[in-house]
Amino acid sequence: MTGELNALGAAEIARRIGSKQTTAVEVMSACLARVKAREETVGAFIHLDEDKALAAAEAADKAPAGGLLHGVPFAIKDIIDTADFPTGWGSPIYHGYQPPRNASCVELLMRQGAIPVGKTVSTEFAYFQPGKTANPHNPGHTPGGSSSGSAAAVADGMVPLAFGSQTAGSMIRPAAFCGVLGYKASHGGFDLQGVMGLSASLDTLGLMAREVEDLVLARAAMCGAGPAVHPAFANSAPRIGLVRGPDWSNGSAEMRDVCERAMARLAEQGAETSEIGDLSIFSNLEKSQKVVMAFETARARIFEFEHYRGQLSHHFIALMEDGLALSRRAYEEALGVRDQAQQGLSALFQEADVLLTPSAPGEAPEGLSATGDPLYNRPWTLLQVPCVSVPFGAGPRGLPLSVQLIGQMGDDDRLLAAADWVHQCLRGE
Amino acid sequence: MTGELNALGAAEIARRIGSKQTTAVEVMSACLARVKAREETVGAFIHLDEDKALAAAEAADKAPAGGLLHGVPFAIKDIIDTADFPTGWGSPIYHGYQPPRNASCVELLMRQGAIPVGKTVSTEFAYFQPGKTANPHNPGHTPGGSSSGSAAAVADGMVPLAFGSQTAGSMIRPAAFCGVLGYKASHGGFDLQGVMGLSASLDTLGLMAREVEDLVLARAAMCGAGPAVHPAFANSAPRIGLVRGPDWSNGSAEMRDVCERAMARLAEQGAETSEIGDLSIFSNLEKSQKVVMAFETARARIFEFEHYRGQLSHHFIALMEDGLALSRRAYEEALGVRDQAQQGLSALFQEADVLLTPSAPGEAPEGLSATGDPLYNRPWTLLQVPCVSVPFGAGPRGLPLSVQLIGQMGDDDRLLAAADWVHQCLRGE
């Protein structure tokens, strides 16, 4: 039995612990056993403390249950402050640095009984320079980034739930490459105290999980939303609009194929499907996201650029230099492009409950020296809307494929409800 | 000569150092002399390092000039991280805590040659529990809060420029009580990395100064805006709309009087003045601000509430408990009130370049056990618009009075241009 507990979802773990079918210690032991067996290959964690995690699980078993996530193990991307583990931001500059407090998101899960297992690998400052993590489906391939370790740990059954973050494509891309659910909240939907920031207009917290109900439960712990999947699509299928987008032809054939097969499958299952024909609002979004990200990052991380340039990767130095060279006018124009597209976008949601679009260019690329291209994520992050990556089958090299669902700004509850419906339809292929 | 240098503005200091009329050491020495003479009475600083400040000034005099703020001393509210000074957030929990890096705002000023003098007193977590600071105009009266030390230090001639922040009324109120210019930027206008946060929808960085050109210069250093006052009102006076607001009758007679006298004076000087008659969009804004602030703070500061409750003031515990008791629906309704009012507000700016409205209920209240009521600031902070408090004369007890100017969201350049025009008209009374 213990051997399977690590494969359960967070909600199921909480239910079983609540009804005394299992204990927090049994669950934690199963997760730690999986880590022990696989970590040398996967490299999901930058800091792990088995004794601390087990001690917390023992304490949870002695305490009265009641929290939404009582006894549920979770992992934390290493750009998120933790009082009990060092927080290195994926950079040698802060390697081993110990913050004095937990980020709000960490504390909010712990307050509901969840137990932190450790810190997962982030790329350097959640940008492009990769850490040690490999794709658990094939360790010769990237897990994506920047939330590399969180995606890999959840995909590999090490933990049921993990925090990540997205400024360009750092949640959805690794979720797609690793074949797990990745959820980037609406911008501003989750508090960011204690989370390293690059670009205040873009930075958003997110969660990796294997079940949509787990995302909903964690969301409830974070911002007081309902603890069960919203019943919007309990009795009727969602209306789904395909957005091929301006970069449709720049991805792989398997990417296009998985989107089209998903649309067909969902229509078979009763979804009202359509295609968004007018893509004019999406022009220039990827470019504008790059401008906003560079301009804002160049301010946000100026301390490291001024004092520790020798310890920054060439990727990060180039981003800073680009941002410092940009004019304020170029930045304001990029924000203007966003504002206009946001207005255009709301009209699309009169015809569709959610949009379906590529998560990533295809299967995870070979090699660990790069994390893939976030081109299918930048536009949506700029638009600040909530996104969920839903796995669907595998590509020609046997690696996971995925589709991305987009919801209306602030309407994360309905997006997650639709994602649950879609996930049930697509799973098992 | 040295005795007067501490009374100069930041731009004037930079000009004189640039043209070798004075040196950074002479300016810093004058500021430190003023601190030495007055700090026992005013209590503006929680941490000050004279040797470090003088050493930095010596280094500035040896370095080639060129930065926008070369050799200009500035002070930093103690909720803002500094690598060279402890950062205590106005709380015993973090008293003496040393962060590993500078907040982005600090580094961005230093990058332009400005020199940090020390950390100024903040109320506990930038909320209501006061620190030691007294009003420099009468030490039996509050300086206001939460940016108490920054307002007092600038008002008293200890520094020409200081950082503060506002979530309810923490910039505009202390600026008004101390008789200095206080500028709260458009929400999101300045990066907040390294600044303690309470409420992501409200938290905004700001600056205290004695000259509008100094605010403009610091803004240029922070976000790449132009380094000189925008010429919008160089040849024509601004159109100014009086907003009495729903709390007009809840302030003092001198508050109402100063607004009306200011409007008359500005009309005499050529401004096209009007009064906004329909105040319906302002209903419920103060109440909604309180809901948003409590709900978000209860998430943002959950770590301290869970782990250090015994070291929190009753003010702060009450805020946390209120926020945790609020439903998500109440929070979303409050955000909805804001969204609607933001739409209504843009129409008002078709008739006026800036709005004029009370900064504070009147003169600074007697006593140091409370910092006054931010009721005239909460609505504007919720609306996320830029605000400037401009001093205008004194009240019956000889303490400063002030008016508040409001600009359009994102149009800080024009607001500061109008504020400069208004400041020139009102100063000297």
Return the CATH number at A393.
3.90.1300.10
Q: What is the mean pLDDT of chain A?
A: 97
For residue A266, give the amino acid letter: L
Mutation target for A interface from B167, B299, B306, B326: give the one with most A CBs within 10 A.
B299
CA distance A194 to chain B (A): 9
Question: Rounded distance, CA A133 to CA A39, Å?
Answer: 9
Residue A299 falls inside a structural domain: no
Low-confidence ranges of chain B (pLDDT < 70): 1-3, 429
In this complex, do A108 and B302 lie within 8 Å of one another by their Cβ atoms? Answer: yes
Same domain, A202 and A130: yes
Contact list in A for residue B188 (CB cut-off 8 A) is 200-201
Residue B96 in contact with partner chain A when CB distance is under 8 A: no
Taking the whole predicted model, whether its pTM rises above 0.90 is answered as yes
Residue A189 falls inside a structural domain: yes
| Closest chain B residue by Cα to residue A99 | B99
CA distance A276 to chain B (A): 28
* B278 CB-contact burial (10 Å; exposed 0-12 / middle 13-18 / buried 19+): exposed
Residue B138 falls inside a structural domain: yes
Same domain, B242 and B220: no
Same domain, B194 and B166: yes
CA distance B232 to chain A (A): 17
Residue A83 in contact with partner chain B when CB distance is under 8 A: yes
Question: Rounded to 5 degrees, what are φ and ψ at B182?
Answer: -120, 130
Mutation target for A interface from B79, B107, B165: give the one with most A CBs within 10 A.
B107
In this complex, do B192 and A200 lie within 8 Å of one another by their Cβ atoms? Answer: yes
In this complex, do B191 and A300 lie within 8 Å of one another by their Cβ atoms? Answer: yes
Helix axes B10-18, B212-223, angle to 10 degrees: 80
Contact list in A for residue B107 (CB cut-off 8 A) is 302-303, 306
Question: Rounded distance, CA A82 to CA A96, Å?
Answer: 12
- Listed residues A231, A253, A269: the one ending a domain: A231
- Listed residues B206, B231, B256: the one ending a domain: B231
Same domain, B193 and B273: no
Question: Rounded distance, CA A73 to CA A71, Å?
Answer: 6
CA distance B78 to chain A (A): 16
Same domain, A134 and A28: yes
In this complex, do B328 and A224 lie within 8 Å of one another by their Cβ atoms? Answer: yes
Same domain, B77 and B179: yes
| Closest chain B residue by Cα to residue A327 | B224
Contact B252, B364 (CB under 8 A): no
In this complex, do A108 and B296 lie within 8 Å of one another by their Cβ atoms? Answer: no
In this complex, do A300 and B108 lie within 8 Å of one another by their Cβ atoms? Answer: no
The end-to-end CA distance of chain B, in Å, is 26
From the list A194, A200, A302, the residue facing B111 with the nearest CB is A302
In this complex, do B193 and A301 lie within 8 Å of one another by their Cβ atoms? Answer: yes
Residue B367: count other Cβ atoms within 10 Å of its Cβ.
11
Mutation target for B interface from A187, A190, A192, A193: give the one with most B CBs within 10 A.
A193
> Which pLDDT score is estimated for A208?
98
Domain count, chain B: 2
Sheet of strand B239-242, all strands in order from the earlier edge strand to the far edge: B45-48, B115-120, B73-77, B161-166, B204-209, B181-184, B387-394, B400-406, B354-358, B239-242, B272-275
Same domain, B19 and B119: yes
Residue A319 falls inside a structural domain: no
Residue A108 in contact with partner chain B when CB distance is under 8 A: yes
Same domain, B149 and B203: yes
> Which pLDDT score is estimated for B65?
79
From the list A104, A303, A328, the residue facing B299 with the nearest CB is A104
| Closest chain B residue by Cα to residue A95 | B100
| Closest chain A residue by Cα to residue B324 | A224
Same domain, A15 and A44: yes
From the list B193, B296, B331, the residue facing A197 with the nearest CB is B193
From the list B107, B328, B331, the residue facing A306 with the nearest CB is B107
Helix axes B285-300, B314-325, angle to 10 degrees: 100
Q: Which of residues 353-392 of B touch A (CB under 8 A)?
A: none
Residue B302 falls inside a structural domain: no
Residue B161 falls inside a structural domain: yes
Residue A309 in contact with partner chain B when CB distance is under 8 A: no
Helix, strand, coil percent values for chain A (each to nearest 5): 45, 15, 40
Residues linked to residue A273 through DSSP beta bridges, in sequence order: A240
Contact B16, B10 (CB under 8 A): no
In this complex, do A94 and B100 lie within 8 Å of one another by their Cβ atoms? Answer: yes
What own/partner pairs with CB < 8 Å and gap ≥ 24 does A270-274 have? A270/A237, A271/A237, A271/A238, A271/A239, A271/A240, A271/A421, A271/A425, A272/A237, A272/A238, A272/A239, A272/A240, A273/A239, A273/A240, A273/A241, A273/A242, A274/A239, A274/A240, A274/A241, A274/A242, A274/A351, A274/A352
Low-confidence ranges of chain A (pLDDT < 50): 1-2
From the list B102, B223, B299, the residue facing A191 with the nearest CB is B299
Residue B311 falls inside a structural domain: no
Same domain, A162 and A57: yes
Residue B197 in contact with partner chain A when CB distance is under 8 A: yes
Question: Rounded distance, CA B165 to CA B159, Å?
Answer: 17
Residue A313 falls inside a structural domain: no
Report how far apart, in Å, the C-alpha atoms of A187 and of each of A168, A224, A309, B335 are. Answer: 12, 16, 30, 14
> Which pLDDT score is estimated for A66?
83
In this complex, do B303 and A192 lie within 8 Å of one another by their Cβ atoms? Answer: no
Residue B295 in contact with partner chain A when CB distance is under 8 A: yes
| Closest chain A residue by Cα to residue B95 | A100
CA distance B328 to chain A (A): 6
Contact list in A for residue B216 (CB cut-off 8 A) is none
Residue A82 in contact with partner chain B when CB distance is under 8 A: no
Same domain, A29 and A157: yes
Residue A89 in contact with partner chain B when CB distance is under 8 A: no
Helix (H) / strand (E) containing A29: helix A24-42
Contact list in B for residue A197 (CB cut-off 8 A) is 191-193
Q: How many helices (H) and strands (E) does chain A have?
A: 15, 11
From the list A191, A225, A300, the residue facing B328 with the nearest CB is A225
- Please report the beta strands in A140-255, taking only residues with DSSP state E, as ranges in sequence order: 161-166, 181-184, 204-209, 239-242
From the list B102, B196, B222, the residue facing A303 with the nearest CB is B102
Residue A412 in contact with partner chain B when CB distance is under 8 A: no
Parent domain of A400 = 236-284+333-426
Contact B422, B405 (CB under 8 A): yes
Q: Which of residues 124-183 of B touch A (CB under 8 A)?
A: none
Contact list in B for residue A327 (CB cut-off 8 A) is 224
Same domain, A125 and A175: yes
